[in-house]
Structure 1
Amino acid sequence: MSRSLRAELLAWLLLPLVAVVAFNGWTLRLDATRTADLITDRTLLASARVIAEQVKESDGRVESLIPPSALEMFASPDREKVIYRVLSPSGELIAGFPDVVEPPKPPQGLEPAYYEGEFRTEPVRAVALAQPVISKVYGGNALVIVATTLHGRDRLVNEIWQNSLRDQLLLVGVAALLALLGLRRGLAPLLRLRDELRSRDPESLKALEPDRVQGELRPVIDALNHALERVRAYILLQRRFVADASHQLRTPLAVLKTQIAMARQDDDPQLRREALSAIEGGVGSMGRLVNQLLTLARAEPGGAAMRKEQLDFGTIARKAVEGLGIIAFDRNIDLSFEAPDAALPIYGHVTLLHELVVNLVDNALRHIPEGGRVAVRLASSDAGILLVVEDDGPGIPEADRERVFERFNRLAPSTVEGTGLGLAIVKEIVAAHDGAIVLMETQPPPGLRVEVRLPTADAAAKS
């Protein structure tokens, strides 16, 4: 199930707002209740004071007249019940209902006491007020209690709360509408980008324009452009590989085809054997060329995914040199190998590192005269691993040392059979392992010294 970015952004905008409205609704209910209680209390206190003003001594008795204005204050459509009770300083009931609930604590001084209770199973809110009575016989404070039912107060609470909540919900609705419009406008560049990607030519790898979207989306565009660049490089790599392979295989295949045709037409067994030997040599050369092309394709950036692991470069180099011992023996070349006893940890691809050493040593063995010398040395330092391949051959002129790394480039004149891919492969393998390669003249000349520096496993992990 696909997720909607617009819906998620809108939800993250509105859900906190809804939570705030819910909290505000709760606080508004409390405020509305306090407001309604304040209005009710003021009405109760005004009524109680009107009644208290009528408490006086007459003919030796304390009595109280209940003026109609004291009860008319509660007139409303809710038809509230107003209950009152007046007690003399001696505690005698002089007016009102005897079962009106008394306050939990008597009022202190002349301050009124507000409280809630029940009158005949109906909830009421009441006020108790102490009224001084001046008398030689009944001196003291009379107690005036006025209570009212809560229908009107509850209605007032609901009206205040509902009106405030309605305003809050209306605000949320307007905010949601504005947020939706804002998201629609804000996502417009992204939607235009989507439409552009859908409508563009499938073969087009043109980079996207980052200026057409907001700054927050530019990293996404940069990542897409980087991916498109990698795809473009990979396609160019494949095309170059196919072109190189077809170019280099076309001539050997034509020669093989000619040799096969001649072997078929020749009835002389000796000539046929010579033709078969030539065909065998051609097949061997083609096999080496194919292997070098595949190694080159694997080593290039964007080629086959390299699965690197921690290896011992000393062991890899030793096996590579030992495998070339037969060539050195056949050509009477002194091939030596020196390496420290300690392991040389490196983070890399075992096959490519093996081909790195093989190509360097094989190149040296093929380009020096018989009876020459090739020395392979390994060393380790804080700067990394150093591989040195040194020979006493004719060397490479300084002007040609960069050109020899180009593909299929062979120095002229050259009497050595080869494809011109050895040093190109070496350069790609060194680059794939974040290393560096340098060609220089031996001391004393002539000769060629090749230095390859590769990072150790610890240095590669830190980088």
Structure 2
Amino acid sequence: MKTTKPGSLQSQLITLVLGTVVAIFILIASLTWLDASHEIDEILDSHLTQAASLLVVQEANEVGENEQQIDAPILHRYAQKTLFQVFHEGKLSLRSANAPITPIQAIDQHFTAGFSTIQIGQDSWRVFATDGAENDIKVFVAEKLETRASILQAVFRSMLVPLGLALPALGIAIWWAIRRGMRPLRVLSHSLQQRKAGSLEPLATEFCNIEILPMLKALNDLFQRTNDLHKAEQRFTADAAHELRTPIAALRTQAQVAMAETDPVLQTRALQNTLAACDRASRLVDQLLTLAKLENQAQVEMHACHLSQLIKQCMTDLAPRAIHKQQQLGFDYDEAVSDEIIANEVLLLVLFRNLIDNAIRYSPPLAIINISLSINHDKLIVVIEDSGKGLDEAAIQQLGERFFRSSEQQESGSGLGWSIVRLIAQVHQLTIQVKPSENLGGLAIHIHF
């Protein structure tokens, strides 16, 4: 597979800035050229009209006094680039030395006053024609167009040459400025390259530029999340190793007893204890996996579901255990109350299953376990209470700590159920209150949705 070499951000910035400067330079030069050309034409055309007006006045004063043709002398080196003619009654009465003796434009009925461009020999001329003081006087003043081009080129040489020489210096200045501006990124890149593989310490943000501060914060957030995930994995591994050691040891012991026992009754009992140990190990693994998923998953999918249906499903799953202990398991709720919420159905099932299972597990035989669903101030409240021994205030405060189990509890367990409940409540932004039950005397768990 062909790999594409990554482009240089610095080179792209330099090319973009220089390209923009050159494009603007060309655009301004073009607009200036057009504007200057127009202004030069206006100025020189006005000079032609002024010269023509002077000739008209002069010819008006001299008409009738001298019918001889007069050639004006050449007084300046640029005089060859201009010419004029004055005709009186169709005859040439005054002209410049470089002007032809024939009219440069028609002086008969086709005569047209104003500006025009004509060709005389190999040269193009800008001509201004006008009548004199009398209609039989025709005045022509002309200027070579190359003169205007020469003036325009001279103006632009004086303006564009210095700017053209300044462009390389400007390019060097832009390269230096961009390279200096990119220095924080190079420092950051070098710092990241020098970090060790397992280093997740946050990057320093005290002296960074405001432009790269969001990137540094995003990197630090990524390091923090990665560190949290790493710690969660380490904690999960340690928890699994710690908690699985006991059921595995029990499995080995019961298996050894079953293998060594010759009495069929005792051997069957040992095998039954082995199955019970397998069940405890399986339940512990499920709890650990659920806890790991909750800690590692940044966002869970939420859908519409009904609380009453979830509670009924959990009660159906756990009813055989309650019946085995001859416990009374009840559910009170008003069917008219809307119990639809937006939540993750699987996680809520785990939450209710843990809480109801705890009530069944740690309540004595013949105990009463009641679940109620009500609404108060537009908030749904689920209460799970039992008639068991309950817990003291110190034990209630420790609920949710990993592997915490009250010293008074005789039932087997991993001590992870409440940790899972707390995480699910955090994901769904639920409020859980644990206190003694006023109705049944045991423990009451209030869940506010």
Do both proteins adopt the same fold according to a TM-score greater than 0.5, normalized to the shorter chain? Answer: yes
Cα 1:283–1:305 shift into 2, 3 Å: farther
After TM superposition, give the deviation of residue 398 of structure 1 in Å: 1.9
| 1:6 aligned onto 2:29 | no
Contact 1:84 1:97 survives alignment (8 Å) = no
Higher mean alpha-carbon deviation, 55-64 vs 384-393, is at 55-64
Q: State the aligned residue count.
A: 436
Instruction: Name the residue aligned to 2:128.
Output: 127
- Superposed CA deviations along residues 358-406 of structure 1, whole A, max 9, x for unmatched, are 0011111112222221111223466543221111222221222120211
- Superposed CA deviations along residues 33-70 of structure 1, whole A, max 9, x for unmatched, are 13543564466457646755653547666555221137
After TM superposition, give the deviation of residue 355 of structure 1 in Å: 0.6
| 1:334 aligned onto 2:338 | no
Instruction: Name the residue aligned to 1:17.
Output: 21
Q: In 2, distance between residues paired with 1:243 and 1:272?
A: 34
Instruction: Name the residue aligned to 1:401.
Output: 396
Question: Please, which runs of 5 or more residues in structure 1 have no aligned partner?
Answer: 108-112, 133-138, 455-463
- Superposed, 1:352-363 pairs within 5 Å as 352-363=347-358
Instruction: Name the residue aligned to 1:310.
Output: 304
- Superposed, 1:247-266 pairs within 5 Å as 247-266=242-261
Contact 1:404 1:411 survives alignment (8 Å) = no
Cα 1:330–1:105 shift into 2, 3 Å: farther
| Code of the aligned partner of 2:434 | L
Instruction: Name the residue aligned to 1:84.
Output: 84
After TM superposition, give the deviation of residue 101 of structure 1 in Å: 3.3
Cα 1:335–1:151 shift into 2, 3 Å: same
SS at match of 1:359: helix
Instruction: Name the residue aligned to 1:136.
Output: none
| 1:32 aligned onto 2:36 | yes
Q: 1:373 aligns with which of 351, 356, 368?
A: 368
Contact 2:326 2:366 survives alignment (8 Å) = yes
Contact 1:308 1:348 survives alignment (8 Å) = yes
Instruction: Name the residue aligned to 1:218.
Output: 213
| 1:100 aligned onto 2:94 | no
SS at match of 1:377: strand
Q: In 1, distance between residues paired with 2:69 and 2:376?
A: 112
Contact 2:385 2:440 survives alignment (8 Å) = no
| Code of the aligned partner of 1:98 | T
Instruction: Name the residue aligned to 1:386.
Output: 381
**Overall identity of the aligned pairs, in %:** 27
Cα 1:67–1:235 shift into 2, 3 Å: same
Tell me the TM-score normalized by structure 2.
0.87
| 1:202 aligned onto 2:206 | no
| Code of the aligned partner of 2:326 | N
Contact 1:378 1:386 survives alignment (8 Å) = yes
CA RMSD of aligned residues (A): 3.0
Higher mean alpha-carbon deviation, 433-442 vs 237-246, is at 433-442
Q: 2:78 aligns with which of 68, 74, 87?
A: 74
Instruction: Name the residue aligned to 1:460.
Output: none
Higher mean alpha-carbon deviation, 183-192 vs 172-181, is at 172-181
Instruction: Name the residue aligned to 1:433.
Output: 428
| 1:413 aligned onto 2:408 | yes
Q: In 1, distance between residues paired with 2:111 and 2:357?
A: 110
- Superposed, 1:277-288 pairs within 5 Å as 277-288=272-283
Question: Please, which runs of 5 or more residues in structure 2 have no aligned partner?
Answer: 95-99
- Superposed CA deviations along residues 402-440 of structure 1, whole A, max 9, x for unmatched, are 202111111112222222122121111111222221101
Tell me the TM-score normalized by structure 1.
0.84
Instruction: Name the residue aligned to 1:116.
Output: 117
| Code of the aligned partner of 1:406 | E
Contact 1:21 1:169 survives alignment (8 Å) = no
